[in-house]
Amino acid sequence: MAIEDRRVEQAYALAKERYAEWGVEVDQALSRLSEVAISLHCWQGDDVTGFESLGAELGGGLAVTGNYPGKARTPDELRADLDKAFSLIPGTHRLNLHASYAETGGSRVERNELEPKHFQGWIDWAARKKMGIDFNPTFFAHPKAADGLTLSSPDDAIRTYWIEHGIACRKIGAAIGEALDTPCITNVWIPDGSKDTPIDRKGPRERLTRSLDTIFAEPIDPRFGLDAVECKLFGLGSESYVVGSHEFYLGYAMARKTVLCLDSGHFHPTEVVSDKISSVLNWVDEILLHVSRGVRWDSDHVVTLGEELVAIAQEVVRGGYLNRVHVGLDFFDASINRVAAWAIGSRNALRAFLIALLEPTSLLRDLENAGDFTGRLALLEELKGMPFAAVWDYHCLKQGVPVGRDWLEDVRAYERDVLSGRG
């Protein structure tokens, strides 16, 4: 055993003893952590460009800043970058794929005509890696979304086009789930809204409801596919009114029994997703979390190990919701190495869940139920100094991924050997 490996194991043994004093079974926590699958978003690897070459602006309130060298330009380059990222993250995870990443062999295929065959390259790649894929219709960066309205558009032809795209994407998602033998979550997010205050708030929401009902009309076997709907507070170009608000989609998910997607960057800065989880899960069966970091607005920064990220993980674990919550990442930063961004965000999400799993929740709940709020606060603060990092390092070691900052050297080497050659 290498000296560094021995040090990791020694630190872990000491940490395990300390957590045992709090009544925490560390091995059990690591076993549960190994079951947490993060869905990595493909669009971090190429700045949400996709492979359609339509030349359309992103639109829909989406913008990517920075021009760090080495951006993926082809499906194979993007998959290679994802391979590198996955090699740095402990556990078995998933891919979150957008419809605009179809492989059409150089032919122009309209989005409402996409089929599972256009994603066979992704399916084959995921099958080799023994991992699942989640899917997203792409309702932006398209001439038919230029005015910012898609499923709620008053133009029948525009609305029909996007309804057909949504139906096609559900079929693709189900085919992916069946091929990989794990349910594919097909998540619907649309950019529809208004820059200024509209007179008619009701009409677009009625049209959106009808559009969604048409898209979801055909049943999908839940073994292969799950439907999700995602809300947003505002975006660039939709500052005053968003058709698919939180209240709209919460009601829709409850009424239509879909998964509800909560994006941690899609709410007012004074709101937190962690406070919504237990409320929402009283009324819907499952939720999808898009973990992002908004700075002043929904700016989709790389996830850091901050207070809200830990609070989200704690709420999921404390509520016993791990089997009802799906976790994906959603940020796109072109100002830093894109592979590093995946690694940083994913490792932080997993570390947040580890912190939550190492919490003596029963002890804290007993103090709370006894009205001992002094003891509760005191122990919560003491827990912040517990050696979770030693447990994390051990987890990485046993999962065969770089420990500590060693992963960064792997990324540096990949940048030197691979990314620098892309021009």
Distances (CA, A) of 135 to 91, 343, 380: 21, 21, 38
| One-character DSSP codes across 185-211 | EEEE----EESS--S-SHHHHHHHHHH
Tell me the CA end-to-end span of the chain in Å, nearest whole number.
41
- Catalytic annotation present for 298: yes
Catalytic residue among 43, 189, 342, 392: 189
Residue of 249, 327, 252, 331 whose CA lies nearest to 287: 327
Residue of 399, 402, 312, 400 whose CA lies nearest to 30: 399
- Catalytic annotation present for 290: yes
* Residue 352 to residue 363: CA distance in whole angstroms: 20
- Catalytic annotation present for 93: no
Give the β-pairing of 287-291 and 259-263: parallel
- Catalytic annotation present for 266: yes
- Catalytic annotation present for 330: yes
- Catalytic annotation present for 342: no
| One-character DSSP codes across 24-53 | --HHHHHHHHTT--EEEEGGGGTTT--S--
Cα angle, residue 29 at apex, residues 27 and 34 outer, rounded to 5°: 95
Catalytic residue among 52, 81, 178, 263: 263
Catalytic residue among 52, 230, 308, 315: 230
Catalytic residue among 52, 192, 227, 298: 298
- Catalytic annotation present for 263: yes
Catalytic residue among 52, 192, 308, 330: 330
Catalytic residue among 98, 290, 326, 395: 290
Catalytic residue among 165, 266, 276, 326: 266
DSSP reduced 3-state for 233:
coil
Backbone angles phi, psi at 281, to 5 degrees: -75, 0
- Catalytic annotation present for 366: no
- Catalytic annotation present for 300: yes
Cα angle, residue 90 at apex, residues 84 and 93 outer, rounded to 5°: 75
276 sits in which H/E element: none
* Owner of token pair 């619907």: 188
Q: List b or e across 332-342, with b for residues whose CB sees 16 or more CB atoms inside 10 angstroms.
A: bbbeebbbbbb
Catalytic residue among 178, 300, 308, 415: 300
* Owner of token pair 């940020």: 331
What amino acid positions are annotated as catalytic residues? 189, 230, 232, 263, 266, 290, 298, 300, 330
